Amino acid sequence: MAEPLRIALAGLGTVGAGVIRLLDTNGALLAARAGRELQVVAVSARDRGKDRGVDLARFAWEDDMTAMAARGDVDVVVELVGGSDGPALTLARNAIREGKGLVTANKAMIAHHGMELAAAAEAAGTALRFEAAVAGGVPVIKGLREGAAANAIERVYGILNGTCNYILSTMEDSGADFGETLAAAQQLGYAEADPTFDIEGVDAAHKLSILAGIAFGSAIDFAAVDCSGISRVRAQDIAQADALGFVVRLIGSADVDSTGAEPKLYQRVQPCLVHKDHPLAHVDGPTNAVVAEGNYVGRLLFQGAGAGDGPTASAVVADLIDIARGETGTPFSVPVAAMVAMDKAQSGHRTGRRYIRFTVTDRPGVLAEITAAMRDAGVSIESLIQQGRPEEGGEVLVAMVAHEGPESGVSEALRLLEGSPSLTAPPLVMPILGA
């Protein structure tokens, strides 16, 4: 058997400790599959004295994690610290510059600096792997880059954030509103103390931009992702969706718009109504699921645990096995030099049905004002429901489903209603994803 693959591990949180436990538990199996032992030789974290439930005395300790890459007894660096910049990025750059392989679960760093790191890794002839950065233990990156390599991917979309999916599916089951469900998720550890990145869709947008780069060979452009989260979804929206035969899910979706002279990249994260016959409608709890549509293979569904020590550690170690086997390859589906920088696609011409919810004052003439704006914008209303009638002067929710039509029509209707004293909050628009 070949010499061991010597690993420096930066970050000893839930995932870092999980990697050590996995290597300890499955060591013989991993060595047989990799053709060599996977051996941690050095570790680094902020708190040296913290009990992490694993034996760290057998490893060299580095107080400065950015110096780990310079160690002569290290072949590959695993970065599990997080953050798009700072020490994590310094370590990543150092590792590649030193000719070491790099494995990371850091979706923010790949979304912001993945092109730079991939170009450096290709030039150095070393490996850059980041399976754990998208969908935790679900092998969607390998599936797209390798398993579906014979296909032109026409669209990639899915549930990319387990926190949001847990909140929405719990609201669906319990009937509770958003704030109450978020608080419960925080107590259970499914949501961070500051959940902004999750609930406002930023985490999902990081992952979507990476998937788009792999699926379409496009230059990663996180800044071009249109992003809206779930904080404005109410229990009444969940109930209304259910009555219509849908569930609400936060969906990230990307495709290439080829309607113009030059292809453009469409990337959007937003809550959607998903038909109950669609596979994504049955994805509950803190689970991730990605759908890829290939021109020959058809619809592929990748589903599983999107976070946690075990699933994420599994993806990290799978990358280490590839490196141990000598499978360097390109980090994305094509070399960085061949990745195409695409302009952002506009969405106004995209057609579909949409759910639109208004929060309005309870007084005569409000419905007439809303329907007149829809009429003037050319939006055809399929159904309209006024939910409840509270005390005089209170708020009422008006929900409607618009017939198939361009997004620009709904945007124009909302523009006509801007500044109306009848509206007490900005309208919520959710596209409808069919079966």
8 A C-beta contact, residue 357 and residue 393: no
- Coarse DSSP helix, strand, coil percentages of the chain, rounded to the nearest 5 percent: 40, 25, 35
CB 247 within 8 A of CB 217: no
Distance CA 34, CA 21 (A): 18
Residue 365, CA distances (Å) to 375, 388, 421 in order: 15, 16, 12
Q: Considering all CA atoms of the chain, what is the largest pairwise distance in Å, rounded to the nearest integer? A: 81
Q: How many CA atoms within 13 Å lie on the side-chain side of 428?
A: 24
Q: CB neighbours (10 Å) of residue 122?
A: 19
Crossing angle of helices 407-417/366-376, nearest 10°?
Answer: 140
Both structure tokens of 376: 């003037």
Give me the residues paired with residue 9 across strands.
43, 78
Describe the strand order of the beta sheet including 5-10 as a list of residue ranges: 60-61, 38-44, 5-10, 76-79, 101-104, 128-129
**Active-site annotation holder among 100, 107, 142, 207:** 207
- What DSSP character marks residue 250? E
Is 100 a residue of the active site?
A: no
Q: Are 2 and 32 in contact (CB under 8 A)?
A: no
Cα atoms found within 13 Å of the Cα of residue 274, Cβ hemisphere only: 25
DSSP letters for 86-123: HHHHHHHHHHHHTT-EEEE--HHHHHHHHHHHHHHHHH
Return the active site residues. Answer: 207
